[in-house]
Amino acid sequence: MNISLILQMAADAEPGRIGLVCDGRRWSYAALMKAARGAAEAIARAGCSYVGLLDESSEAASIALFGAAIAGVPYVPLNYRLADADLAALLKRIDPAYLIGDVERVQRLNPDSGHQTLARADFVTEAEKLGETASGDEHDGEGIAAQIFTSGTTAAPKAALLRHSNLLSYILGTVEFGSASPEEAALVCVPPYHIAGIAALLSSIYAMRRIVLLPAFEPDAWLQLASSERATNAFVVPTMLSRIIPRMDAIGDTLDLSSLQSVAYGGGRMPLELIERALVLFPDTGFTNAYGLTETSSTVALLGPEDHRAALSSGDPVVRARLGSVGRPLPTVEIEIRDEEGKLLPAGERGEIYVRGEQVSGEYRGRSALDAEGWFPTRDAGWLDAEGYLFLAGRADDVIVRGGENISPGEIEDVLTSHPAIAESAAVAVPSAEWGEAVGLAVVARPGHAAPSEQELKALIKDRLRSSRVPERIVFLDALPYNEMGKLLRREVKKLFNS
Q: Which residues bind other proteins (CB under 8 A)?
A: 1, 5, 8-9, 12-13, 165, 172, 174-179, 186, 196, 199-200, 202-204, 207, 209, 233, 235, 262, 264, 266, 286, 288, 290, 292, 298-299, 302, 304-305, 330-331
> 237 or 426: whose CB is closer to other proteins?
237
478 within 8 A of 447, measured Cβ to Cβ:
no
Least distance in Å: CB of 64 to other proteins? 18
At 311, the amino acid letter reads A
* Alpha helices for 176-304 (secondary structure H): 195-207, 219-228, 238-251, 272-281
Strand locations in 281-421 (E): 286-293, 298-303, 328-329, 334-338, 351-356, 363-364, 367-368, 376-384, 390-395, 400-402, 405-407
* Alpha helices for 50-119 (secondary structure H): 59-71, 84-93, 103-109
> 129 or 309: whose CB is closer to other proteins?
309
Edge-to-edge order in the sheet of strand 334-338 = 334-338, 351-356, 376-384, 390-395
427 within 8 A of 439, measured Cβ to Cβ:
yes
CA distance 476 to 479: 9
Least distance in Å: CB of 104 to other proteins? 32
> 195 or 442: whose CB is closer to other proteins?
195
Least distance in Å: CB of 172 to other proteins? 7
Least distance in Å: CB of 246 to other proteins? 25
CA distance 268 to 291: 9
> 1 or 257: whose CB is closer to other proteins?
1
CA distance 411 to 302: 23
Least distance in Å: CB of 429 to other proteins? 33
For 20-41, b where at least 16 C-beta lie within 10 A, e where not — what string? bbbeeeebbbbbbbbbbbbbbb
> 89 or 310: whose CB is closer to other proteins?
310
> 11 or 223: whose CB is closer to other proteins?
11
List phi, psi (to 5°) of 20. -150, 135
> 158 or 164: whose CB is closer to other proteins?
164
DSSP 128: H
> 147 or 298: whose CB is closer to other proteins?
298
Least distance in Å: CB of 276 to other proteins? 19
51 within 8 A of 188, measured Cβ to Cβ:
no
At 476, the amino acid letter reads F
Least distance in Å: CB of 59 to other proteins? 18
Least distance in Å: CB of 262 to other proteins? 6
Closest CA to 331 of 166, 163, 172: 172
> 230 or 338: whose CB is closer to other proteins?
230
Least distance in Å: CB of 273 to other proteins? 23
DSSP 294: G
